[in-house]
Amino acid sequence: MQGVDPAWLPDEVFRPIGTRRTLIRGSGPLVDTVHGEVAGACDRFGGRVERDASPGPFDLVLELTGADASEGFTFERGDGCTTVTATGQSGLLYGLFHVVRLGEDAFRKQRPRETHGPALALRMLDHWDNVAVHPVMGQVERGYAGGSLFWQDGRARGELLGRVRAYGRLLAACGINAVAVNNVNVHATEAHLLTDRLGEVADIAGALRPYGVRTHLSVTFAAPIVLGGLSTADPLDDDVRGWWAEASARVYEAIPDFGGYVVKADSEGQPGPFAYGRSHADGANMLAAALEPHGGTVHWRAFVYNHRQDWRDRTTDRARAAHDHFVPLDGEFADNAVLQVKHGPMDFQVREPVSPLIGAMPRTRLAVELQATQEYTGQQRHVCWLGPMWSEVLRFRADGECSVGEVARGGLVAVSNVGDDPFWTGHPLAQANLYTFGRLAWQPHADPHQILDEWILLTFGTGPAAGLRAVLDGSWRTYEKYTAPLGVGWMVQPGHHYGPSVDGYEYSPWGTYHFADRDGIGVDRSAATGSGFAGQYAKPWAEMYESPDTCPDELLLFFHHMSYGHMLHSGKTVIQHIYDTHFEGVEEVEAARDVWASLVDLVDRARHARVAERFEEQLRSAREWRDQVNSYFLRKSGVPDAHGRRIY
């Protein structure tokens, strides 16, 4: 689309297909999409595409051989022809994008038959988009890429749905197959999307459908009251259950392939079953029952904690909350209820351990929620490629045996980082997070660095590839270095969460403390002397986290309160680690900015300028972080920097 960055689908990546002869076999709307893609490429590059039984020879055959819902495909090359087969239409679409990713390689040498398919059936983005601009949170809660892609001027984007379709295309090209189109904090206007404004949701669903992306909706638990005029939302009340059943039937009349509901209940002020003395399984199962006849799923979020804590109360530990609330309910959730768990026990900090809940509910379908929008990781003003963090999470053996990627039977979800910004994600390099998420959801054990390379080559070509790798590869660790140290988190400005404020959340009701004093810092979450959180883990993690001797350095202050003089496994004291990493972090940003500047002739001008401008802000902010954090700890501890560098 004009004026919109093609992201990882610039015309050029279709050249290898567009210059050749392609045969497409099979019928159906997604096969038409495949045909449209190939025909468009041929128009641009002079090749030819035929449907069904045309005489050959062909360089590429894309063939639908069945009529099921499978998303897998086979790929092979022999006798001068590359062949993709699929038994389901979306499989054929994913097969096409596989050929696009391979480029000329798809047509070079013989390749024996390979089978490809997603490890996880649900690969979803949750948009925290409001229809109406919220007075505090704006249109997209925690959004850093302009307004909503779906909603504009208080309505679905009518004639601009072409942009939504283009979004669906990008998502399909990295394997994402579901989108929740509104914020989990469901405000008054957005509640109506479920009923009288359903037509707008159907329009969006229509724009995404050609690319195999199903639409989901966030709904308020109080809908029977606020929309239905009932006096209660009690999940065991017959009228309430009847109301949800009817509302859901109407949703499926309008959107036959509707995915289901996303629900944030009893969380940060949203209504939920606790008000009626009911459990979260009661709440989720009521919605699951309403969706079940239509094949839908409810995604019930596990982000339930006390956000009105008294900071003086040392007996409450927010990190424990999800496990405490949900583990007793294991086995009680309906088959089509998915418990959606944030990957860490707190809230998307730059470093957290994996949530112990993920390994502790074997009889429940879990989805794991990541955050692509960079709420706590630089808000798309800083380069912070999250692939390595997500990969660590997905490979973590949550129950001591199976990896998170295997345990997440309900799917992988990310909070979207996309808006109506011409570059989609505000910071053009933040597209790498979106792409990496999709590819990891398809194959959770994939090497994130290979995914990064793939994204770079598709988006930028080979010219600037080495520079881009240098800029992005270590950027998460760089960000970690100049922000909150050793897993303690939360040293951000309250409310908007950008920029440093070491004590910003120290005396707040949010359960987010670091407990720094003149002698040390960190939260004692051991079972022996602390909150007991470490004991929520399966073996061997419980033992490992319990003792500072075995706890990994990067999580030490998450699990333990340590003196500034404590020697880390790295051979540095805690205080010297803080000073060193903060100086290093800023130096690494300076180096990355210089690498980016050197790519000026290799990257298109608008994109280069946008990133260059953001680097100036990142550097300013990183210096602020360095100086505030280092000064704070020098003043608290009185321990000088071993290298005598400038601290204020």
Tell which positions 605-644 bind ligand GCV, by CB under 6 A: none
Asked if 559 and 534 count as a contact pair (C-beta separation under 8 A), the reply is yes
C-beta closer to ligand GCV: residue 484 or 575: 484
* CA gap 372, 574 in Å, rounded: 30
Strand 151-152 relative to strand 155-156: parallel, antiparallel, unpaired? antiparallel
C-beta closer to ligand GCV: residue 264 or 560: 264
375 belongs to the catalytic site:
yes
The pair of structure tokens assigned to 189 is 């206007």
C-beta closer to ligand GCV: residue 244 or 303: 303
Binding residue for ligand GCV, selected from 58, 128, 258, 625, defined by CB under 6 A = 128
- In 3-state terms, what secondary structure has residue 420? coil
- Evaluated on CA atoms 179, 182, 185, 191, the torsion sign reads negative
- In 3-state terms, what secondary structure has residue 289? helix
Binding residue for ligand GCV, selected from 74, 83, 182, 185, defined by CB under 6 A = 185
C-beta closer to ligand GCV: residue 144 or 211: 144
Q: Cα Rg for the chain, rounded, in angstroms?
A: 25
The pair of structure tokens assigned to 87 is 């038994």
Least distance from C-beta 394 to ligand GCV, angstroms? 19
In the set 37, 141, 200, 375, the catalytic residue is 375
114 belongs to the catalytic site:
no
C-beta closer to ligand GCV: residue 63 or 347: 347
C-beta closer to ligand GCV: residue 125 or 592: 125
Tell which positions 343-362 bind ligand GCV, by CB under 6 A: 347
In the set 246, 253, 268, 310, the catalytic residue is 268
Strand segments (E) across 470-613: 520-521, 562-563
347 belongs to the catalytic site:
yes
Asked if 63 and 50 count as a contact pair (C-beta separation under 8 A), the reply is no
Least distance from C-beta 620 to ligand GCV, angstroms? 24
Least distance from C-beta 121 to ligand GCV, angstroms? 23
Least distance from C-beta 23 to ligand GCV, angstroms? 47
Assign residue 378 a region: left if phi > 0, alpha if psi is -120 to 50, beta otherwise? left
Least distance from C-beta 186 to ligand GCV, angstroms? 10
Binding residue for ligand GCV, selected from 124, 184, 205, 647, defined by CB under 6 A = 184
In 3D space, the residue among 197, 187, 200 whose CA is nearest the CA of residue 160 turns out to be 200
Strand segments (E) across 119-230: 123-126, 129-134, 138-140, 151-152, 155-156, 178-180, 214-218
Q: Does 377 bind ligand GCV (CB under 6 A)?
A: no
Least distance from C-beta 537 to ligand GCV, angstroms? 22
* CA gap 115, 107 in Å, rounded: 17
Site string for ligand GCV, 266-285 (x = CB under 6 A): --x-----------------
Least distance from C-beta 477 to ligand GCV, angstroms? 23
Binding residue for ligand GCV, selected from 142, 169, 323, 593, defined by CB under 6 A = 142
* CA gap 59, 235 in Å, rounded: 58
* CA gap 120, 603 in Å, rounded: 35
C-beta closer to ligand GCV: residue 219 or 589: 219
In the set 347, 352, 399, 420, the catalytic residue is 347
Asked if 225 and 195 count as a contact pair (C-beta separation under 8 A), the reply is no
* CA gap 285, 343 in Å, rounded: 23
Tell which positions 282-321 bind ligand GCV, by CB under 6 A: 303
Binding residue for ligand GCV, selected from 264, 427, 439, 582, defined by CB under 6 A = 264
C-beta closer to ligand GCV: residue 98 or 134: 134
* CA gap 336, 401 in Å, rounded: 25
Applying CB under 6 A, the site for ligand GCV has a residue count of 10
Asked if 212 and 177 count as a contact pair (C-beta separation under 8 A), the reply is yes
- C-alpha distances (whole Å) from 239 to each of 223, 251, 278, 617 are 12, 18, 16, 54
Q: Which residues bind ligand GCV (CB under 6 A)?
A: 128, 141-142, 184-185, 264, 268, 303, 347, 375
Active site residues: 268, 347, 375
